[in-house]
Amino acid sequence: MRLYHTLGIEKSLFRGNTWLGNDLDGKNNTLLHTFCCAGFCRWLQWRPMTITSPVGPGPFRAVLAAALVFLLFSCSSETLRPRVDEAYLLGTVVRITVYTDEAEALLEPVFARVADIEARMSTSERDYDRTELLDVNRAPAGTATPVSADTFEVLKEALRYSELSDGAFEVTIWPLVRLWDIGSGHESVPSEGDIARAVSLVDYRKLSLNDDGSVTLPEEGMGVDVGAIAKGYAADEGARILREGGVKHAILDFGGNILVIGSKPDGTPWRVGVQRPDARRNEYIGIVYTSGRTVVTSGPYERFFVEDGVRYHHILDPATGYPSRNGLEQVTVVGDRSIDADALSTTGYVMGLPAGFTLIEELDGVEAVFVTEDHRVYVTSGLKGPDGRSRFELVDEEFRLMGPPEG
């Protein structure tokens, strides 16, 4: 079965997806260069008739030809047509935009790779009878379950972030994820007893990642879940395949996980919109200007249900067993690897202010934007100055830029 379909060349490029404000920029640049080329060609037609070259007609034409070749080359690199393909994978719409003439051959293996990652690492019993991680979670207590190198690598990273955050990020969150089953369409708030039981089964310190590449959980009912990190890994893998295929400019959008390859074709940074938490997808509070990096957001509005007027969302606090609630509306992390940014946006969201902010500020190569329910915006130092590799600009006047959080 073909899992995705082609949207076509430059067809409503970022439809419903003002995540990326570059749509308008791209079109303007294309227009400008078309105009330049047309103007130059007309100039070529006219000038030989009206001026006399001091170096004679031969060299004059050679110079003109060289200039034309240069201009055409510069035009063609900047007017590369984007190609957009999308598929529903990893619980979201995965939309990939590449600027290359060989998109078809390159996008096919990227979507296949993402589908393969989903089929190994999903823990959704609704979508899969078996996956490597469902095998791990269903294995009798204390037995070692072999997994592929991919899955092992993602579990290793998830365990590392669990340790780094003292369990705010929790690789063994599965009993709680399964209990709440948010996104199933028939959710209800579990009983306090069930929540307490699930909380007692969540403890990353009991997970063993064995030297032979197998995984062991010591208690019946324990389980791993990589929903907070797998999209990032998949985006990194997709980008690797595209880069190896020679792609210089691309955007991989995994529904809130954005990874860009290179700069825009005109050499300027991509503009990635940071979504306005309480609004529709295409409204944003600010813009991250960046090249070759990833921008990942975690927030409570991705998946949730409402009961008795209370919103219950999918990012769970392992300490309480309930959806995390600490005054934060969302956390956006900018970094080099999407797996790190994905893990850290979830981590920052659960840890809250100021602890999550401090953690990210202390780590090398990652930056963050924290947005509170009362519309305060906290930005780590590397996103502030013009010297940084990425820069954040607040554009929504209803939100207030703050200094470092206190505490």
Scanning 25-33, 212-220, 282-290, 308-316 for contacts with ligand AMP by CB under 6 A, the matching segment is 308-316
Question: Which position among 297, 332, 338, 346 is part of the footprint of Mg ion (CB under 5 A)?
Answer: 346
Measured from the CB atom, is 284 or 349 closer to ligand AMP? 349
Give the nearest distance from C-beta 360 to ligand AMP in angstroms. 14
Question: Which position among 108, 278, 302, 373 is part of the footprint of ligand AMP (CB under 6 A)?
Answer: 302
Residue 352: CA atoms inside 13 Å, Cβ hemisphere, count? 11
- Per DSSP, what are the bridge partners of residue 316? 323
Q: Does 347 bind Mg ion (CB under 5 A)?
A: no
Binding residues among 163-182 for ligand AMP as defined by CB under 6 A: 169-170, 173, 177
Q: Does 318 bind ligand AMP (CB under 6 A)?
A: yes
**Closest residue by beta carbon to ligand AMP:** 227
Q: Please, what's the b/e burial string for 207-241 (b: 16 or more CB within 10 A of its CB; e: otherwise)? A: bebeeeebbbbeeeebbbbbbbbbbbbbbbbbbeb
Tokens of 377: 């915006």
Question: Which position among 23, 266, 317, 342 is part of the footprint of Mg ion (CB under 5 A)?
Answer: 342
Question: Which position among 145, 346, 380, 390 is part of the footprint of ligand AMP (CB under 6 A)?
Answer: 346
Contacts of 321 (CB under 8 A, 6+ apart): 176, 195, 196, 198, 199
Q: Give the binding-site size for ligand AMP (rule: CB under 6 A).
A: 17
| Backbone angles phi and psi of 274, in degrees to 5 | -95, 115
Scanning 45-53, 156-164, 223-231, 234-242 for contacts with Mg ion by CB under 5 A, the matching segment is 223-231
Give the number of other Cβ atoms within 10 Å of residue 11's Cβ: 11
Separation between Cα atoms, residue 17 and residue 20, nearest integer Å: 7
Whether 348 and 356 have beta carbons less than 8 Å apart is answered as: yes
Whether 7 and 84 have beta carbons less than 8 Å apart is answered as: yes
Tallying the residues shown for the chain, one arrives at 407
Question: Which position among 147, 316, 359, 383 is part of the footprint of ligand AMP (CB under 6 A)?
Answer: 316
- Per DSSP, what are the bridge partners of residue 376? 400
258 binds, among Mg ion, ligand AMP, none (CB under 5 to 8 A by kind): none
What DSSP element (H or E) covers 5? strand 4-9
Q: Does 329 bind ligand AMP (CB under 6 A)?
A: no
Binding residues among 271-300 for ligand AMP as defined by CB under 6 A: 298
Give the number of other Cβ atoms within 10 Å of residue 300's Cβ: 20
Binding mask 131-170 for ligand AMP (x = CB under 6 A): --------------------------------------xx
Scanning 98-106, 112-120, 186-194, 222-230 for contacts with ligand AMP by CB under 6 A, the matching segment is 222-230
Give the nearest distance from C-beta 385 to ligand AMP in angstroms. 28
Question: Which position among 234, 315, 355, 383 is part of the footprint of ligand AMP (CB under 6 A)?
Answer: 315
DSSP string, 272-308: EEEEPTTS-TT-EEEEEEESS-EEEEE-TTSSEEEET
302 binds, among ligand AMP, Mg ion, none (CB under 5 to 8 A by kind): ligand AMP
Give the nearest distance from C-beta 165 to ligand AMP in angstroms. 8
Q: Does 118 bind ligand AMP (CB under 6 A)?
A: no
Cα angle vertex 224, ends 221, 230, to 5°? Answer: 155
Question: Which position among 342, 368, 391, 399 is part of the footprint of ligand AMP (CB under 6 A)?
Answer: 342
Question: Which position among 26, 82, 175, 227 is part of the footprint of ligand AMP (CB under 6 A)?
Answer: 227
131 binds, among Mg ion, ligand AMP, none (CB under 5 to 8 A by kind): none
Q: Does 228 bind ligand AMP (CB under 6 A)?
A: yes
Separation between Cα atoms, residue 169 and residue 164, nearest integer Å: 8
Measured from the CB atom, is 106 or 343 closer to Mg ion? 343
- Per DSSP, what are the bridge partners of residue 253? 95, 258
What DSSP element (H or E) covers 82? strand 82-89
Secondary structure (H, E, C), 144-158: EEECCHHHHHHHHHH
Whose CA is closest to 328, among 302, 293, 353, 294? 353
Scanning 189-197, 340-348, 365-373, 388-396 for contacts with ligand AMP by CB under 6 A, the matching segment is 340-348
Residues in contact with Mg ion by CB under 5 A are 228, 342, 346
Residues in contact with ligand AMP by CB under 6 A are 169-170, 173, 177, 225, 227-228, 298, 302, 314-316, 318, 342, 345-346, 350
